[in-house]
């Protein structure tokens, strides 16, 4: 009975946080430190719960989702190295993901955006190109590609007189 309740809690938290990510909620909430810290605490609690449950074939998917979301919270809180660590964890577990194949290209996207914010354009472009070219037929692919394309345009372009000018091919 207790295991079932813990599992339901963990799934609920994961589903709610996942929907927030899909609808760009992290971008909005990330501007409020107290809300972002609260979300991170909730994710930490969900991770502890998940680790206390028996493993299933989808446990890695759940851990990777939590890693992606924790990375986003940490990015918004200014903890870039920790955020990179969590984005990299998703990539390291790629071969074990059973269902949520969108996690890896989105982790690459978020890692690329973080690098771009830090002025590491070459690394950002490499990550974004990998996300764009190496992953196909996953859920929310068009949404992810739209964000990747916008980030690549930003990374490859320059700003002149406050106007974004794309670089030549």
pLDDT at 28: 85
Mean of per-residue pLDDT scores for the chain: 88
pLDDT at 23: 78
Give the CA diameter of the chain.
Answer: 63
The DSSP bridge partners found for residue 114 are: none
Q: Are residues 1 and 75 in the same domain?
A: yes
Domain extent at residue 110: 101-155
Q: How many domains does the chain have?
A: 2
The per-residue DSSP string of 38-99 comes to HHHHHHHHHHHHHHHSPP-TTHHHHHHHHHHHHHHHHHHTT-HHHHHHHHHHHHHTGGG-SS
The verdict on residue 132 lying in a domain is yes
The verdict on residue 55 lying in a domain is yes
Q: What is the pLDDT of residues 34-68, one digit of tens each?
A: 999 999 999 999 899 888 888 989 899 999 999 99
Q: Which has the closest alpha carbon to 11: 71, 70, 53?
A: 53
Q: Are residues 69 and 10 in the same domain?
A: yes
The verdict on residue 29 lying in a domain is yes
The verdict on residue 23 lying in a domain is yes
pTM (predicted TM-score): 0.87
Q: Are residues 3 and 49 in the same domain?
A: yes
Q: Are residues 75 and 5 in the same domain?
A: yes
pLDDT at 111: 98
145 contacts: CB under 8 Å, gap ≥ 6? 132
Q: What is the pLDDT of residues 65-82, one digit of tens each?
A: 999 999 999 999 999 999
Q: Are residues 2 and 67 in the same domain?
A: yes
């Amino acid at each position: 009975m207790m295991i079932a309740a813990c599992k339901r809690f963990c799934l609920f938290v994961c589903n709610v946080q996942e929907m927030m990510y899909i609808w760009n909620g992290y971008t909005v909430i990330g501007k409020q430190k107290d809300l972002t810290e609260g979300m991170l605490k909730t994710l930490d609690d969900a991770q502890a719960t998940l680790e206390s449950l028996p493993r299933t074939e989808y446990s890695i998917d759940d851990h990777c989702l939590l890693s992606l979301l924790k990375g986003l919270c940490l990015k918004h809180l200014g903890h870039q190295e920790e955020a990179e660590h969590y984005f990299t964890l998703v990539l390291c577990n790629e071969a074990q993901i059973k269902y949520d194949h969108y996690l890896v290209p989105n982790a690459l996207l978020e890692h690329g955006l973080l690098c771009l914010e830090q002025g590491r354009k070459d690394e950002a472009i490499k990550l974004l190109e990998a996300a764009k070219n190496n992953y196909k037929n996953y859920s929310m692919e068009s949404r992810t590609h739209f964000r990747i394309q916008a980030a690549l345009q930003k990374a490859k372009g320059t700003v002149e007189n406050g106007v974004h000018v794309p670089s030549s091919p």
